[in-house]
Every structure is written in C-alpha cells, then in structure tokens.
Amino acid sequence: MISPNLIITTDPSCADLALEELRRVCPGAAAVARPEPGVLVCAADSGFGDIAAKWQAGPPVFTRHICPVDTTVAVSGAADVDLAALEKACREMCAGRLAGNLSFSVQTRTFGAVALKPFDVNTRLATAITELSGAFLDVRNPSQVVSVVLAGSKGWLGLSTAEQNLSNWAGGARRFAREDGQLSRSEFKLLEALEVFKLSLPKSGTALDLGAAPGGWTRVLRRAGLQVTAVDPAELDQSLAADPGVRHERTTAERYLQGSHPTRFDCIVNDMRQDARDSARTMVRYAPLLAPEGVALMTCKLPHAGRLPTLEQALAILAAGYRGAGARHLFHNRSEVTVCLRPGTGGTDTGAQRSPS
C-alpha cells in the first residue's frame, strides 16, 4: 500500500464528493484513514505538489483544505515524549526547506483521545522553527504552514505553502468573531466568500441584495461603503430601515424586475431560500443589471440527494448570463455552494464541471 501523502478536509456530508474530486486529478487516490468525519488521510500516486498545482489552477468545490504528509510520528500518549518526538520530526522536515525570509504558522488538529493540546504543539514547534530558520510567526496570514494532525497513536506532519493548502486556516475552518449589531449567521457566509474568491468591494458604488431580510448581507455591504437596494417582501432589521444608504423594495425578486432600473449595480448578491436552478434562472434575468466590471455572489441551495447534478444544472443555467469565477462549499455553508460570477457569458470555470458525475 502507498504511504499516505496528503490529508483533505471537507464538510462531513461532502466527504465522498471531496474524495471523488481528488480522484479526478489523481485516479489512484484512496482514503487510508478517517480520523474524523470530513477528514481523510489519503494515499495518492501523484505528489502533493502536483495535486496542489492542479487545484490552484482549478480549485475543487467540496474540498476545503489540503495539507501534505511528509512524515509520520508514533504517538505514545505521554505528552513530554510526544512533544519531543514531534519537535524532532519537525526540525528534520523543515531543515533546508522552510524559508527563513517568509512568515510561517503551525496548525495543529487533534482527533480522538490525544493527550496533547494544539496550543502546546503549536508553541513548541513554532519556537523550534524560529530557532532553526529565523522565520517569523504569522498565525493569521502565513506564507508557509507546518500542518500537524494527531489521531490515536499516529501523528502526521507536512510542510507546504498556505496557497497550496487552499486556505490559510487549519482545515479550512475560517471563523469570524461575532460583532455588536450582527443580524444573522449568514453574514459570515458573505465575509468568507469575499476572502475565498479574493474580492475587493468598491469603496463606493451600488449593490443589489436579493432576498435580503433580515438584512445580514445588506449590513456587510453597507459597512463596505456601498449604497444597497434590498429586495425582499419581509421587513428588514430596524437598524437598516433607518439607514439612508439602504433602499428597501418590499417585493419579490421576480416582481422587482418588472420595474424600470436604469442604473446598473456594481455588486449583486443572492442568498434566497430557493432551489438552486430556480435561483440561477432569476440571476440570469438580473445579469443585464450588473455593471461591466461588477461581481455577483449567490448561494446555490442543494438537496441532500443529487447535490452534484443539481449544482451542475444550476451552473449551466448561469452560463447563459455570466462568466463563472468560482464555486466553493465554504466553511459557513450548509447544504449550499457559494458561486462567484462576472459579467458576460463563456461558461463556468468553477471546478464543479471537473467534478465526477
């Protein structure tokens, strides 16, 4: 059996889809261990660097995070012994490979009955790496990542760039602090989407929020400086109702289109609770309202059964009005995939079309 050489992380409900995505770029790949639902230790014929390069060119939809397995360490359960073993393995792995002029982070995840705490491992290894290379620690925005996964009697370590890992965050778990005035958990979905798709909202301009109530996404857009038209027959939160930068159209997305809209929007967002295909048809009708340099974001709500065919159908519909700029099942998504769109047609370069049927 081939030794494991990478670990992929996904939502537990998407584990089989993520494994099939891996097999699409490396047909011989197999999961040799599953320390936690959604965490797969895999053996693949291709090297981690080759797999990462393919996914950098065309990111997967359901795989949130990957990291290499460069070395395996036996875990005894004695904290002092295990910390010493991990430090020794880390020093050997990083020697001559970790760049001293770039930032780094140590990301440790533990599963099951493991005596070590992630904080203790991170601290011990970060100190060793700094002594070894002179590199500086940057937990939030590292260039290089030492990944450590501990489960039962095994520990897996790997060194990679944050870009190769598909996410700067361990396991792709991007967490945001809850703010005063936050209206809903859905705000995290929009904030994460802006990061994942590397989008910068204009400092000023106009945005259209379809299915806006109670107004979480509208609040995020207003904080960015945009004037927002919020379309929803339901009421917005009182804090937004009094905001002169928010115009609330108390109607459905379909009826709103029947009016006159001479101004195009710099940003259109859609988090409506609607079948992904119906929502995609609505978005195509709104395509003429998106400014030439604008961006659109929508969530495709997917059924538990037939998720991939439904997503592919929705993306095919969207291709009639947009160029796809990405599709990802984000950490803050549930039974949905977030899609990034640009004006014009030309297919959806999202990765989903390269996923297995």
The catalytic residues are: 301
Collapsing DSSP states into helix, strand and coil, what is residue 89?
Answer: helix
Collapsing DSSP states into helix, strand and coil, what is residue 68?
Answer: strand
Do residues 209 and 265 lie in contact, with contact meaning Cβ atoms separated by under 8 Å? no
Instruction: Say what the alpha-carbon torsion angle 142, 144, 148, 149 is, to the nearest 10 degrees.
Output: 80
Do residues 233 and 176 lie in contact, with contact meaning Cβ atoms separated by under 8 Å? no
Collapsing DSSP states into helix, strand and coil, what is residue 36?
Answer: strand
Q: Please state, in angstroms and as integers, the Cα–Cα distance from residue 171 to each residue in 114, 147, 293, following that order.
A: 18, 10, 33
Instruction: Report the alpha-carbon distance of residue 28 to residue 252 in Å, rounded.
Output: 48
The Cα angle at residue 37 between residues 335 and 197, in degrees rounded to 5: 50
The dihedral built from the CA positions of residue 238, 242, 243 and 249, taken in this order, carries a sign that is positive
Instruction: Report the alpha-carbon distance of residue 191 to residue 221 in Å, rounded.
Output: 10
Q: For the residues of 273-294, what is the DSSP string, one character each?
A: SSBHHHHHHHHHHHGGGEEEEE
Nearest-CA neighbor of 110 among 120, 101, 96? 120
